[in-house]
Amino acid sequence: MANLKQLAHSLGLSITTVSRALDGYSDVSAATRARVREAAEAAGYRPNASARRLRKQRAELVAVTLPSDPGHVGPPHFLDMLSGCAEHLAAAGLNLVIAPVPRGVSELEICQRFVDGRRVDAMLLVRTKRKDERVEYLQSRGIPFVTNGRTESLIPHPFIDGDGFAGFRAATLRFHAAGHRRIGHIAGPQEYYFAHVRRRGWQAAMEECGLAADLCAEGAPLEQGGYLAALELLRQPSRPTALVCATDEMAIGALRALREVDGGNQISIVGHDDLPMGAFTSPPLSTMRMTGENLGASFASLLLRAIAGEPAEELQELHAIEFVDRDSHRRPPLAA
């Protein structure tokens, strides 16, 4: 309710002293400081955020772009990540704002709108593309940012990502070791870095094993996309006996295709993301997940360090992928 002026007046002190007392400066006597703190508490004083931001030339805001277009920005646990990130940013006095990207507007334009209006101190970018114009723009403007997922940008930038290449390579090699020879891949849209790198992991493993990497179908990173892609692979003259899917949602879509086509218990399948839902599918879905606790906190930490000016090279986290074995990857490699 109160502002600094009223508080100062009621205490018989100057605005300066009250302000500095509350901020803990040493040029205020301990007695005064205590008195001020008490009065501020009693009056329920909270500094006016706009005034502080204006004076300090900081927005105290970090924006995350959220495409509203495809009806889906990321895996369902994405919101938990955002929430965790916002929580840790809040501890540093920063708030997380949603920068929605309306249909027909590019993500780049939204970035510009926030950055040029000095509305944010930093940005969080999700669903990076291999060649991501947002990254290029932010780099050119020198705005701190962190991406969820790498890009092919030549200039290094802060990111957190899972080692999709290694994960998908390992998953494919594991199927090979179990006797599978026709191992298919259900890929996400290849302009996304995560989708591309997962596909390359599968492909590399196939080539290492001397197998043709030809059983690959691409779809939207949703259940429906996985369903259609699986149907396509199952129509091949020589069906896959195992499927490595870019995401759990695609894998769950593929599971339905398997049920429809072969009863659902012939072909091995593995996804990625460790959706809670995966434990409840039929059969329970084997999957992979990025290691590391509390992703949101990591993003917040990187953002703060980027704002503090740490060089990009020190703000890159590549996490290992681990398997979450349930049931769906255990089908024997029978010819269909």
Positions touching DNA (CB under 7 A) are 3-5, 12-17, 19-20, 22-23, 27-32, 45, 47-48, 51-52, 54-57
Give the number of other CB atoms < 10 A from CB of residue 42. 11
The binder of a second copy chosen from 40, 99, 123, 143 (CB under 8 A): 99
DSSP letters of 205-265?
HHHHTT-----EEE--SSHHHHHHHHHHHHTSSS--SEEEESSHHHHHHHHHHHHHHHTTS
Under the criterion CB under 8 A, does residue 67 sit at the interface with a second copy?
A: yes
Q: In angstroms, what is the minimal distance from the CB of 3 to DNA? A: 4
Residue 184 contacts which entry, a second copy, DNA, none (Cβ below 5-8 A, type-dependent): none
Q: Return the number of the residue (81 or 187) whose C-beta is nearest a second copy.
A: 81
Residue that the structure tokens 């191992």 belong to? 183
Question: Considering only 11-19, 54-62, 202-210, 321-329, which stretch makes contact with a second copy by CB under 8 A?
Answer: 54-62
Q: How many chain residues are in contact with a second copy, going by CB under 8 A?
A: 59
Q: Return the number of the residue (32 or 316) whose C-beta is nearest DNA.
A: 32
Half-sphere CA count of 314, side-chain side, radius 13 A: 9
Question: Considering only 22-30, 69-77, 124-132, 161-169, which stretch makes contact with a second copy by CB under 8 A?
Answer: 69-77
119: Cβ contacts below 8 Å, ≥ 6 apart: 59, 61, 63, 113
Under the criterion CB under 8 A, does residue 86 sit at the interface with a second copy?
A: yes
Under the criterion CB under 8 A, does residue 118 sit at the interface with a second copy?
A: yes
Residue 287: beta bridge partners? 324
Question: Considering only 28-36, 212-220, 248-256, 316-324, which stretch makes contact with a second copy by CB under 8 A?
Answer: 248-256
Residue of 200, 215, 146 lying closest to 169 (CA atoms): 200
Radius of gyration of the chain (CA): 26
Q: Burial level of 27, CB count in 10 A (0-12/13-18/19+)? A: exposed
Under the criterion CB under 8 A, does residue 13 sit at the interface with a second copy?
A: no
Q: In angstroms, what is the minimal distance from the CB of 12 to DNA? A: 7
Q: Return the number of the residue (18 or 66) whose C-beta is nearest a second copy.
A: 66
Residue of 241, 160, 163, 153 lying closest to 198 (CA atoms): 163
Backbone φ and ψ of 292, nearest 5°? 115, 140
Q: Return the number of the residue (58 or 319) whose C-beta is nearest DNA.
A: 58
Residue 183 contacts which entry, DNA, a second copy, none (Cβ below 5-8 A, type-dependent): none
Under the criterion CB under 8 A, does residue 225 sit at the interface with a second copy?
A: no
**Cα separation of 79 and 12, whole Å?**
48
Q: Return the number of the residue (26 or 313) whose C-beta is nearest DNA.
A: 26
Provide long-range contacts, Cβ within 8 A and 24+ apart, for 21-26.
22/47
Under the rule (CB under 8 A), what is the footprint of a second copy?
Answer: 1, 44, 46-51, 53-54, 59, 61, 66-68, 71-73, 76, 78-80, 82-84, 86-87, 90, 95-102, 113, 116-119, 222-224, 227, 249, 252-253, 255-256, 259, 264, 276-277, 279-282, 296
